[in-house]
Structure 1
Amino acid sequence: MMHVLLLKEPREEASGPDPYIKELASHGHKATLIPVLSFKFVSLNTLADKLFQPEKHGGLIFTSPRAVEAVKMCLEESKKRKEEWSKFLRDQWNTKPIYVVGKATAALVQNLGLTPLGEDTGTAEVLSRVIIEREDTNIPPLFFPCGSIKREVLPTALREKGVPLETLTVYQTSEHPDVEKNLRNFFTEQGIPACVAFFSPSGVKFCLELILRLSGDRLTQIKFAAVGPTTRDAMAAEGLCVSCTAEKPTAEHLAAGISDALL
């Protein structure tokens, strides 16, 4: 049994273990999750104002599960908001496109009662192409709640094609307070993992240096995996040799890629 270190927070699912742990177990690997990022929600009152004026926007864009969580927090703030959402706001938004990147984000959007478009797009680059194909330049602005360190790929692509966009930072990303302690404990108790998987450029930024230090001269024993091309590029930019990149950002695709790399 090979040990895989996943640098992500556990997915909260009532149905049991995190899907990445489950998928890797089905390939005969033991996986450990260590969260590397911590999130703080901001501007929720402004977000609520925007959500309650669907007529002013041409649609919604979500490129991360966290942005959808911010919307959920807004709606659960009061009974009145919740009622208005289920009575008419949700249906008003559903007359417009709700663009998403990835299955995890799509699932959370569906939990809000919205119908996602683009869940098979694995990256913001691909989603921006879908939006540009579908949208005119004379629509009301698409509303894009996002994180403080979002990449500029999607806004730039839409701006260049004249598709109106309004962004709002609804969460700030920082290093998880326990990441160093948790990584040290992992390397002390489990030893050198067969594979380390990164899930975001921020994850690379916050913990690669520590992993290199903890691995020492046994770094060459580790295969490095990326959840998608953006993360892979961030790893490569730091000089890492990336053994596999998931074809799509799902547990199934990443587990299959890691298993092939570990053969």
Structure 2
Amino acid sequence: MQVLLLKEPREEDSGPDPYVKELAAHGHRATLIPVLCFKFVSLSTLSEKLFQPDTHGGLIFTSPRAVEAVKMCLEAEGRGEEWRLIKDKWNAKSVYVVGKATGDLVQKLGLKPLGEDSGTADVLSRLILQREDANVLPLFFPCGSIKREVLPTALRENGVPLETLTVYQTAEHPDLQENLSQYFTQQGTPSSIAFFSPSGVKFCLETVRQLSGKRLTQIKFAAIGPTTADAMTTEGLCVSCSAEKPTAAHLAAAIAKVLL
């Protein structure tokens, strides 16, 4: 069956998208349409913070894009050798992440992630509160322009100091509407559509409704996690399944189950 994945693709040099591969293993043909585009900002400030580990109690990454911003800083300024020395100071502290995808990218920077099994910022905030208190130096949180406030609020209410820096801005992919229209024209209405972020729901849903018409109720809508599922429900969608964890294997298994 046809499955439409509304997410950003993997980087070109990182191989086939794992969600497409996992769904193929279940006998489904998945198509990925990029929903978001990103503009990186404040990279000079980010670079300064990265090379001042003594002023922070640890790092927090809740998205692959924030880790990509760090990688861009290191590559642009040619400070790889210096980073090899500095990263050990960060590893002596705590480097928190949400999800395995973000954790894998953090490891490629030479850092040791904590919280890879936390599928949401809510869960990660509980882990941080178990390990940190008001006496810690501020945790440094490079993030996106439309981050949720769950984690900052939880830490603030419990007295754990936090310093945030917006390092990327999120916008609708310029080809999104055209790509959606082309997909429905050429392949018809998919059996399942998977959303990967509240932003994806915001940017895609009205077009999906228009293109699907009366067939909308036949589509099995899937969510990568509870935050996205909540956004879908708020918009009046019936969420057929949600991944137990935000991984390709878990989402593919959930979709395959409802498409039996």
TM-score of the two chains, using structure 1 as the length reference: 0.97
Aligned counterpart, 1:183: 180
> What value does the CA root-mean-square deviation take over the aligned residues?
0.8
Aligned counterpart, 1:85: 83
Match of 1:203 among 200, 203, 210: 200
Q: Deviations over 1:34-65 (max 9, x none)?
A: 00101000000000010010000000000000
1:77 Cα offset (Å): 1.2
Aligned counterpart, 1:65: 64
Matches within 5 A, 1:50-199: 50-79=49-78, 81-86=79-84, 88-199=85-196
Distance 1:139 1:152 in 2: 21
1:240 equivalent to 2:237? Answer yes
Aligned partner of residue 255 in structure 2, secondary structure: helix
1:141 Cα offset (Å): 0.1
Distance 1:24 1:152 in 2: 32
Aligned counterpart, 1:26: 25
Distance 1:27 1:120 in 2: 24
Aligned counterpart, 1:46: 45
Distance 2:217 2:143 in 1: 36
Amino acid at match of 1:102: G
Identity of aligned residues (%): 76
In the alignment of these two chains, the number of paired residues is 260
Amino acid at match of 2:227: T
Aligned partner of residue 194 in structure 2, secondary structure: strand
Which runs of 5 or more structure 1 residues have no equivalent in the other structure?
none
Q: Deviations over 1:125-146 (max 9, x none)?
A: 0000000000021111000000
> How has the CA–CA distance of structure 1 residues 13 and 102 changed in structure 2, closer, same or farther, with 3 Å as cutoff?
farther
Deviation above 2 Å: which 4+ runs of structure 1? 12-16
1:15 Cα offset (Å): 6.1
> How has the CA–CA distance of structure 1 residues 172 and 13 changed in structure 2, closer, same or farther, with 3 Å as cutoff?
same
1:193 Cα offset (Å): 0.2
1:8 equivalent to 2:7? Answer yes
Distance 2:33 2:42 in 1: 28
Q: Deviations over 1:121-171 (max 9, x none)?
A: 000000000000000211110000000000000000000000000000000
Aligned partner of residue 104 in structure 1, secondary structure: helix
Q: Deviations over 1:177-224 (max 9, x none)?
A: 000000000000000000000000000011100000000111111110
Aligned partner of residue 169 in structure 1, secondary structure: strand
Q: Deviations over 1:66-90 (max 9, x none)?
A: 00000000111122x221101x101
